[in-house]
Amino acid sequence: MSTKEQRERIELLQGTLDLLILRTLVRGPVHGHAIAKAIEFNSDDVLQVEQGSLYPALHRLIKRKWISVEEGTSENNRRAKFYKLTAEGRRQLTVETSKWDKMAGAIARILRPAEQEGE
């Protein structure tokens, strides 16, 4: 079913999207569409979020009180929902980032000897 294009993209790990959203919001309140664009832009288009899946993730974060939502006006002068990091979300971002670093480091250490053997 999957096309070639889809195969080249990297599927997001469970929970990674949450981390990316939190990271994106550090720079200030953003609306939904802008978050998707920011993630794609900052990852050089490697991480292509199916844009819709952003919204359940956002609502999950709202429910956990890591982000809040407020009314605002978008760049092209339309009313939109702006998502904003809460103090708790900021703390959570630190925790999640260090967790991610540890995991990435561990996976890298596991994979490196395998690469050497393979060569």
Partner 1 sequence: MTKRERMMKDLEQDIREHIETETQDNIARGMSQEDARYAALRKFGNVTRVKEETREVWTFVWLEQLLQDFRYALRVLRKKPGFALTAVLILALGIAANIIVFGVLQAMVLRPLDVPRADRLMTLARTDQTYPIFAYPEVREVRDQNTVFSAVAAFTMGDFGMEANGATRPVWGYEVGGQYFEVVGIKPFLGRLLNRSDDAHPGASDAAVLSWVAWKNDFGADPNVVGTKIRIDKQPYTVVGVTPEGFNGTEKIMEAEIFVPIANEQSLEGVNWLDSWNEKGRVWSIVRIKDGVTPPQVQADLNAIASRITRQYPKEEENLGFKLTRPGLVGDFIGGPVRGFLVGVMVLAGIVLLAACANLGSLFAARTADRAREIAIRIAIGSSRWRILRQVLVEAIVISIFGGACACVLAWIALTGLANWHLPTKFPMRFFVLPQPSLILMAFLISVLAGIAFGLMPLRQIFKADPNDVIKGGGSQSAAGRRWALRDVLLATQIALCCVTVTAAFVSLRGLSKSLTMDLGFNPKNVVRTEFDLNQASYTPDAADHLQRQMLEKVSALPGVEAAGYADITPLSMEQTTLAVFPQESSDFRHSQAAFHAYHYKVSPGYLAASGTALLAGRDVSFTDGPKTPLVAIVNQQFVRELFHSEHAVGRYFKNDQGVSVQVVGIMGDGKHFTLSEDQEPAAFFPISQDGSNNTTLVVRTHRDTGDVVTAIRDIIRDLDRGIPILESGTWSSQLGLSVFPSQVATVALGVFGAFGLLLSIAGTFGLASYTVSKRLRELSIRVALGAQAKQILETALGRMLVLLASGAVVGLVLGVAASRLLSAIVFQASARDPFVLAAVVFTMLLTGLVSVAGPVRRVLHVDPATLLREQ
Q: Which is nearer to partner 1, 52 or 113 (CB)?
A: 52
Closest CA to 81 of 25, 16, 18: 25
Q: How far apart are CA 34 and CA 38, in angstroms?
A: 6
The residue from 26, 42, 55, 91 that contacts partner 1 (CB under 8 A) is: 55
> Which residues are bridge partners to 79 per DSSP?
73
Length of the chain, in residues: 119
| Site membership for partner 1, residue 41 (CB under 8 A) | no
The residues that touch partner 1, with contacts defined as CB under 8 A, are: 31-33, 36, 50-53, 55-56, 59-60, 62-63, 69, 74, 76, 78-81
